[in-house]
Chains A and B, each alone.
Chain A
Amino acid sequence: MLRRFAKEKTAVFGLAVIVFFALVAVFAPLLTPYDPLAQDIPNGLAPPSAEHWLGTDKLGRDIFSRMLYGARISLGAGLGVVLMAGLVGTSVGIVAGYVGGWLDEALMRITDIFFAFPSLILAMAIAGALGPSLQNALIAVSVVTWPVYARLIRGQVIVLRDREFVQAARAVGVGHTQILFRHLFPNTLSPLLVQASFEMGTVILAVAGLSFIGFGAQPPIPEWGVMISEGRNYITTHWWLTFFPAMAMLFAVAGFNLVGDGLRDVLDPRLRR
């Protein structure tokens, strides 16, 4: 499988980008030349130079340092939401698919309700009700995205539950819990991994969008969406304030999307495009 993935050039490029961002996020304190929150107002709005590689913002904060810390927040946020939403969605999906009947019907109608909302409007309403903060934005985006996993995994389990290996397990008296977690869950991992990769990109953009309109991370947190929001009035005069965080976001999201594409092609060749 690894060998097949390695043949997908664009996916390998995407993976390299993700690994780069992950390393940057982990080692941000060692790599940053300045404190991301340290102000140096006389030196504000300085263009990229040898001293400040990506320039400074209006408060004189080093953009390079803020961007590296931003990777920490965005990747962490993506991972947190994907884990939270993935856990809830997968549990609901496995139960719905395995038990079937009225429970399946009820759980799927609940996912219909969540799918009805344009995601950002619901996320904004939740984040606003809980109070604007990064943590509440993550809760909001998780609430909005769990049904995606629930639908996906339910579909997988419905296909799998009547297969011979599950019937055999049942025939020899294996309990429901063990069938669910030992036999069904591992077989849903491939589509789950593909979905999670795509969702990482979606979540990074959603959290940044919420932060941009004021319902996510709050200043002075060096989150990429916050950085673009803070630099919005300088877009034509001091382009570096917004350009670098936007490019970081573009590469990170594109990286996850490319890996998602590659994984899908490798894990499910029927979907190869």
Chain B
Amino acid sequence: MTAFILRRLGGLVFVIFGVSLLTFFLAQLVPADPVAAALGSNARDAQIEAYRLQLGLDQPVAVQYGIYMSRLVRGDLGNSIRTRRAVIDDLRDYLPATIELTMAAMIVTILLGIPLGIIAALNRNTWIDAGARILALIGGAMPIFYVGLVLLGVFYRQLQWLPGPGRLDSTVPPPAHITGLYTVDALLTGNWPVLANASAHLVLPAITLGLFSTAVLLRMTRSSMLEMLGQDYVRTAKAKGLSERLVIGRHVFKNALPPILTIIGILFGSLLSGAVLTETIFNWPGIGRYATTSVTTLDYPAVMGVALVAAVIYPLVNTLVDIGYSVIDPRVRAN
């Protein structure tokens, strides 16, 4: 088990190194001069030259990468040209909003995808199954930015059932900072009005973001359940008189679970991608919107920071899923 975990973590270190190389290379592609952009149009030549020396931009590219890496291992992602703050501080502010949103979307995905998938499998080739499959087809093919705009237009502007963009109403102060996740912080401090407001603000973006992954999880759960329902041990369990509920819950679902878990890990990546669009529509102050604004203003230290953090989170989650998976299913360790 330890060897398995070490092997996975070793792979992760290599990926992070590769990711840093790729983001560094990307920043080299940017046509704009980062120094001129950072100092503004009024900067004198001497100032520009001094700043260039300070950043090590007069050095060969390989040396620059060395400088970048030596800063990186100390947790220094450089300074944002736009916000003029350390990128790591910016990310510390924006990341909790994205984590809260992706977690909420994941809850939507699991609460809808798994039960609908099970129901569809148990009612194979009926109208219920057909309905679930059509839902999965639409969820997988619908542009989520349109879904977000429609939900916002209908439930916020027209019906006024749910609050609009942002994490809280402008009149509601954020809760005391513990994790940065407003719902969690409000819960921990017993701040019920903020908890209610923050939760209400999460509903529409979480549904928007979770739609695609719900569709994928529904399909996966359905097919995994169908595969298990046809197995001999299910027939044996039924033959020895176990109730339908026990057969489905204890035998079929438990065995159908490993591929479902894997897909949940993989879906995390699509949620992080989708967060870029969802955060733009819902004015959600997360790393997706931070990335969009940074790319627009060619603020490449910030872009590199976001890309690096996102590219570390995703394999990290998948490594954790794999480790969890190997705990559930010993055959994985053997492979």
Q: Which residues in A have some Cβ–Cβ distance to B below 8 Å?
A: 109-110, 112-122, 124-131, 201, 205, 208-209, 212-215, 224-225, 228-229, 232, 235-236, 242, 246, 249-251, 253-254, 257-258, 273
Given A236-B157, A273-B227, 17 additional A-B pairs, CB 8 A: A112-B15, A116-B15, A117-B310, A118-B276, A120-B274, A121-B276, A121-B288, A121-B310, A125-B291, A125-B303, A128-B295, A128-B296, A129-B300, A228-B143, A249-B146, A250-B138, A254-B137
Distance of A27 Cα from B276 Cα, bound (Å): 35
A209 touches B11 (CB 8 A): no
Binary per-residue interface labels of chain B (270-281) against chain A in the complex, 1 for a CB within 8 Å, 0 otherwise: 101111110010
Distance of A201 Cα from B212 Cα, bound (Å): 13
- Nearest chain A residue, comparing its CB with the CB of B28: A129
- Nearest chain A residue, comparing its CB with the CB of B157: A236
B303 touches A228 (CB 8 A): no
A213 touches B276 (CB 8 A): yes
Q: Which of B141, B157, B276 is in CB contact (< 8 Å) with A120? A: B276
Distance of A129 Cα from B18 Cα, bound (Å): 19
10 A-B pairs whose Cβ atoms sit less than 8 Å apart in the complex: A109-B14, A117-B19, A118-B270, A121-B288, A122-B311, A128-B295, A129-B27, A129-B30, A242-B149, A250-B138
> If the complex has contacts A117-B314, A120-B273, A228-B149, are A250 and B14 also in contact, measured as CB distance less than 8 A?
no
A129 touches B26 (CB 8 A): yes
Q: Which of A117, A224, A246 is in CB contact (< 8 Å) with B142? A: A246
B18 touches A125 (CB 8 A): no
Q: Which residues in B have some Cβ–Cβ distance to A below 8 Å?
A: 11, 14-15, 18-19, 21-23, 26-27, 29-31, 137-138, 140-146, 149-150, 152-154, 157-158, 222-223, 226-227, 269-270, 272-277, 280, 288, 291-292, 295-296, 298, 300, 303, 306-307, 310-312, 314-315
Distance of A270 Cα from B321 Cα, bound (Å): 26
Distance of A235 Cα from B26 Cα, bound (Å): 36
A228 touches B269 (CB 8 A): no
Q: Which residues of B contact A250 (CB under 8 A)?
A: 138, 141-143
Distance of A146 Cα from B280 Cα, bound (Å): 27
Give the one of A114, A205, A214, A224 with max B CB within 10 A.
Answer: A205
Distance of A246 Cα from B143 Cα, bound (Å): 7
B273 touches A118 (CB 8 A): yes
A242 touches B146 (CB 8 A): yes
Q: Which residues of B contact A113 (CB under 8 A)?
A: 15, 18-19, 21-22, 311
Q: Which residues of A contact B137 (CB under 8 A)?
A: 254, 257-258
Q: Which residues of B contact A215 (CB under 8 A)?
A: 295
**Least CB distance, A101 to chain B, in whole angstroms:** 17
Q: Which residues of B contact A214 (CB under 8 A)?
A: 296
Q: Which of A122, A131, A229, A254 is in CB contact (< 8 Å) with B307? A: A122
Q: Which of B19, B223, B274 is in CB contact (< 8 Å) with A116? A: B19
Distance of A232 Cα from B132 Cα, bound (Å): 29
- Nearest chain A residue, comparing its CB with the CB of B280: A213
Q: Which of A114, A242, A254, A273 is in CB contact (< 8 Å) with B138? A: A254
A124 touches B157 (CB 8 A): no
**Least CB distance, A225 to chain B, in whole angstroms:** 7
Distance of A130 Cα from B30 Cα, bound (Å): 7
**Least CB distance, A70 to chain B, in whole angstroms:** 12
Q: Which residues of B contact A213 (CB under 8 A)?
A: 276-277, 280, 292
Q: Which of B143, B222, B272, B280 is in CB contact (< 8 Å) with A121? A: B272
- Nearest chain B residue, comparing its CB with the CB of A252: B141
B18 touches A109 (CB 8 A): yes
A117 touches B311 (CB 8 A): yes
Distance of A126 Cα from B19 Cα, bound (Å): 14
Q: Which residues of A contact B27 (CB under 8 A)?
A: 129
Which 8 A-B pairs rank lowest in CB-CB distance, beginning with the nearest? A128-B295, A113-B18, A118-B272, A253-B141, A120-B273, A254-B141, A273-B223, A246-B146
- Nearest chain A residue, comparing its CB with the CB of B295: A128
Q: Which residues of A contact B298 (CB under 8 A)?
A: 128
> If the complex has contacts A109-B18, A236-B153, A249-B143, are A126 and B315 also in contact, measured as CB distance less than 8 A?
no
Distance of A242 Cα from B276 Cα, bound (Å): 20
- Nearest chain A residue, comparing its CB with the CB of B220: A273
